[in-house]
């Protein structure tokens, strides 16, 4: 047994931390927010390409689109 209650305090602290993190994660998943449903068309948007030119969703009309976001360095 650890002195000063360390044997009991550590699991309680870990449980409290896990509950706090779980509450933060689940709080971000609040129900009732407006958004798209499965099968809805995506709204029109424009983003810069890797070459710097602007690309619009409508440029790919009628074709499947996969968006891949990554952090660029430099």
Task: Provide the Cα torsion 31, 34, 41, 60; round to 10°.
Answer: -100
User: What pLDDT, on a 0 to 100 scale, did the predictor assign at position 50?
Assistant: 82
Q: Return the DSSP state at 15.
A: H
The pLDDT tens digits for 3-54 are: 555 567 788 888 898 988 888 777 766 666 677 888 888 899 998 888 999 9
Pairwise CA distance, residues 72 & 45, whole Å:
20
What global pTM score does this model have? 0.45
User: What pLDDT, on a 0 to 100 scale, did the predictor assign at position 68?
Assistant: 83
Count of other CB atoms within 10 angstroms of residue 55? 14
Pairwise CA distance, residues 36 & 63, whole Å:
19
Q: Which residues pair with 48 in a beta bridge?
A: 54
């Amino acid at each position: 047994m650890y002195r000063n209650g360390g044997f009991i305090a550590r699991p309680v602290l870990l449980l409290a931390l896990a509950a706090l993190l779980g509450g933060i994660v689940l709080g971000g998943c609040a129900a009732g927010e407006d958004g798209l449903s499965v099968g809805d068309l995506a709204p029109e948007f424009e983003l810069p390409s890797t070459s710097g030119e602007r690309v619009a969703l409508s440029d790919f009309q009628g074709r499947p689109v996969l968006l891949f976001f990554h952090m660029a360095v430099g």
